[in-house]
Structure 1
Amino acid sequence: MRLLNDRKMAMRPPRTGFSQFFSRDKTFRPKKRFEPGTMKFNLHKQANASLSSGIDLKEVVKLPPGEDLNDWIAVHVVDFFNRINLLYGTILEHCTEQTCPTMSGGPKYEYHWCDGENYRKPTALAAPHYITLLMEWVERQINTEEIFPVKVGVPFPRNYLQVVKKILTRLFRVFVHVYIHHFDKLVTIGAEAHVNTCYKHFYYFVTEHNLVDKKELEPLKEMTERICH
C-alpha cells in the first residue's frame, strides 16, 4: 500500500511520550510531520499508538501486515529525526566548540564530516558544527522528492535504502555523542528513562531491518547490552 500522498513532511509530530516530555525545551531543528488525511499520516499514527501502548519495542518495529517496507522505513526515518532533534536540543547549551571541540564518542571514536559538496573530504569539526550540518543534511534528504516521493504511484529510487542507511547511521552518532559526553545532563533533568526508550526504539528498528552496520553500533555496545534485552 502506498503511503506518501499529497505533501512532503512539514513540522511538529503529535506530542506523545518522548516529545511531550521535551516539549518545554528548545528545538534544535524544525520538526517534521505528516499531513493529516494522508495515508502516511495514518501509518504514523498507527506506529505511535503502538509505541504508546506499552507493546514490546521489539514487536513495535516489525513491518505491519500488508504494508510496504519502504514506506514503513520512511515513517521511522522522519520520526527518529524528530526525536533525536529534540534529544539534542535538551543539551544544546552544554555542547559547544569549547566543551566539545571534536565530534566524538569517547577517546576511541571520532567522526569527520563529508557531504560531497561543501566538504568533499572527511573533515574534523566541533560537535555542534558537525551535528548542525548533519541535521540540515538529513532534512534535505527527507525533503527531496526524488528520494522520498510524495505522490501515490511514484516509486522509491533504487538507491533509497542506501540513502536511508546513511541517514540512520549518522543519526546514531548523535546518540553516541550525547550518551558518552552529555549523559550527566540528561540525568539531571530526569530524562534518562525517556532517552533510553528512544534509543531502544531506534536500536530495535535498525537491527530488525538491517539499516546500520554492526561496526557503527560498537561505541554503545556495552550500554546496548545492558538496556536492550
Structure 2
Amino acid sequence: MEGFGKFFQRDKTFRPKKKFEPGTMRYQLHKKAQASLQAGLDLKAIVQLPAEEDLNDWVAVHVVDFFNRINLIYGTVCEFCDDTTCPTMSGGPRYEYMWCDGVKYKKPTPVPANKYISLLMEWIEQHINDETLFPINVDVPFPKNFIPVCKKILTRLFRVFVHVYIHHFDKMVEIGAEAHVNTCYKHFYYFVTSYKLVDQRELEPLKEMTERICK
C-alpha cells in the first residue's frame, strides 16, 4: 500500500480525516496494521486478528481506516461525478442504491451518486465520532450494537467501490492509480469476508472482478 498517498492526497477528500490519538491502544493497532500493509505482506494474512487482541478493537480500527481510504479514492473522481453524469447512485443498470438514514431521509430515497456519497460519509463520520459507539477509553466496553452498525457502515462503503469501479474506473486508470485502488479493494474484501461483515448478496455487483483480482 506504500505510495497510496502519492495518488490520493490531492486536497480532494470529501471530509476531514479521522485519526487515532497517539498513545492509545487503538492507535498502536492502527500502526501495526499500516506497517503490515506497507511491508507488502499477504493481504489475506494481515486481516487476521492478532493474537490476544479484541475483535471489536480490530474492527473499529479497520472501519476508520477504510472510511479514510475510500474517502480519498472517491475524492479523486468526485469532480467527474455530478448530477448529470451520475443522476443515481448506481453500479451499472442492475444496481441502484437509495439513501435512508431514518432521520432526514426516513424512507429509501433516490439521490444522485455524489449526494449519496456525501450523505454516507457524513453519516459514517457521526458514527465513528460517537464515543458511546466507538469508545476511546479501553475501559469502556463496546455497545451490543457495535458490530451490526459496523456491518451497515462497511456495506455502504462497499457501494462506493461499486460506483467507482463501474462508472469512474477509467479516471483511476488515467492517473495511474489502478493498482492502488485494487489493493485497497482486496484488503477491504478480505477483511469483510473474513469476519462476515458484508452480506454475499451485497458483494454481487463486483463478483466477476473480485474473482479475477482476489485469488
**Normalized against structure 1, the TM-score is what?**
0.92
CA spacing shift, 1:208–1:195, aligned 2, 3 Å: same
- Partner amino acid for 1:172? F
Q: Does 1:88 align with 2:77?
A: no
- Cα distance between partner residues in 2 of 1:214 and 1:156: 26
Q: How does 1:145-164 map to 2 (within 5 A)?
A: 145-164=131-150
- Unpaired segments ≥5 residues, structure 2: none
- Unpaired segments ≥5 residues, structure 1: 1-14
- Cα distance between partner residues in 2 of 1:20 and 1:66: 34
Whether contact under 8 Å (2:2, 2:37) holds in the other structure is no
- Partner amino acid for 2:15? R
1:64 to 35, 45, 50: 50
Report what 2:208 is aligned to: 222
User: Matched residue of 2:188: which SS?
Assistant: helix
- Partner amino acid for 1:115? D
CA spacing shift, 1:192–1:222, aligned 2, 3 Å: same
1:47 to 33, 38, 43: 33
Q: Does 1:137 align with 2:129?
A: no
Report what 2:101 is aligned to: 115
Alignment RMSD, CA only? Answer: 1.1
Report what 1:192 is aligned to: 178
Whether contact under 8 Å (2:25, 2:138) holds in the other structure is no
Shift of 1:28: 1.4
2:87 to 91, 97, 101: 101
CA spacing shift, 1:83–1:132, aligned 2, 3 Å: same
Aligned residues: 215
CA deviation digits over 1:107-157, x for unaligned, max 9? 000000000000000000000000000000000000111110111211101
Whether contact under 8 Å (1:19, 1:83) holds in the other structure is no
- Cα distance between partner residues in 2 of 1:120 and 1:217: 25
1:126 to 89, 112, 131: 112
% same residue: 72
2:23 to 13, 18, 37: 37
Q: Does 1:210 align with 2:196?
A: yes
Whether contact under 8 Å (2:14, 2:71) holds in the other structure is yes
- Cα distance between partner residues in 1 of 2:96 and 2:7: 30
